[in-house]
Structure 1
Amino acid sequence: MDELLKGFPVVIELPVVWGEMDAFQHVNNVVYFRYMETARIAYFLKMNYMKIMEETGLGPILASTQCRYRFPLTYPDSVSVGARVPHVEEDRFRMEYRIVSHRHQKVAAEGDALIVSYDYRKRTKAPLPEAVRRYILEMEERRT
């Protein structure tokens, strides 16, 4: 399991819940996005993004996201979801996710998202706060 999530500075563990299954007897595709969202928020909390947003009005906004399904998850199971940021630009960064099944010990899905820095007071795109850029670089440096 550790090898499958090597290089991800934030890893969370979540149960696969019976109610996440759909009529096709596997976890519904939308649920994978919830798993990735939960990992994204864990990453933001680890780097104090919410506090920075509160102080500056500058915060993250999701511009796009996608998921590549590798195999269907089913109940009962648990997953570990890794999050990392391989690329940072002036006003945005790309976040990657990996969802790993505990029961099968393999990657169930991989995804990514484009996160844009947004000024919630002015309602416009804004440069990434320097503190956010620094936290990301520090967290990603520690993963290598």
Structure 2
Amino acid sequence: MRHTYACPLRWSDMDAYGHVNNVVFMRYLEEARINFLFRPDKDFQQGSVVARHEIDYKRQLVHRHHPVDIELWITEIRAASFTIAYEVKDADEVYVRASTVVVPFDFEAQRPRRITSEEREFLQQYLEKAGAEEGEAVAA
């Protein structure tokens, strides 16, 4: 299963050439990740931090007045981290493929923490094999 976030485009997202600046895509991924992780029913209220980002720009996204879809899913769940994969896309075009390694974090103790059983159960609903970002959506 994948989570979809409709990400609004803003005038300030454009660069001098009229398309969305590459750096802005990192903010888009953050917005999608927050929308996914911090929901009233299932969330990571104890906190988390980003350990790593990888981003592959496929094509330019020209500014427009309607949102772009960001699909995200989980490709790996470890004891104290998980990996989120993303596609920033329209129905017929992929602009960006990316991944983020997220580490649950205890801000009070100032240290990483293990994923709780409730968090693992939630994440497993979105788990797909690593090759799925190329269009082979295979459940793990």
**Both structures adopt the same fold (TM-score exceeding 0.5):** yes
CA distance, structure 2, for counterparts of residue 120 and residue 45 of structure 1 = 16
In structure 1, the gaps of 5 or more residues are 1-6, 54-58
Structure showing greater relative contact order (alpha-carbon pairs closer than 8 Å, 6 or more residues apart):
1
Following superposition, the deviation at residue 139 of structure 1 comes to 3.8
Quote the Cα distance in structure 2 between the aligned partners of 1:135 and 1:81: 19
**What TM-score, normalized by structure 2, do the two folds share?**
0.81
123-132 or 11-20, which moves further after superposition?
11-20
Amino acid at match of 1:19: S
Which secondary structure does the structure 1 equivalent of 2:125 belong to? Answer: helix
8 A Cα contact 1:16 1:74, kept in partner: no
1:40 pairs with 2:33: yes
Q: Deviations over 1:6-41 (max 9, x none)?
A: x5x210112322221111321111111111111111
Aligned: 1:72 with 2:36? no
Match of 1:86 in 2: 75
Q: Does 1:133 align with 2:127?
A: no
Letter of the 1:111 counterpart: A
Q: TM-score, normalised by structure 1?
A: 0.79
CA RMSD of aligned residues (A): 2.0
Q: Aligned pairs, how many?
A: 128
- Alignment partner for residue 111 of structure 1, among 79, 98, 105? 98
From the two aligned structures, give the one with the greater strand fraction. Answer: 1
Residue 24 (str. 1) matches residue 38 (str. 2):
no
CA contact (8 A) 1:10 1:42 kept: no
Q: 1:136 is aligned with what amino acid?
A: L
SS of the residue corresponding to residue 85 of structure 2 reads strand
- Alpha-carbon shift at residue 75 of structure 1 (Å): 1.6
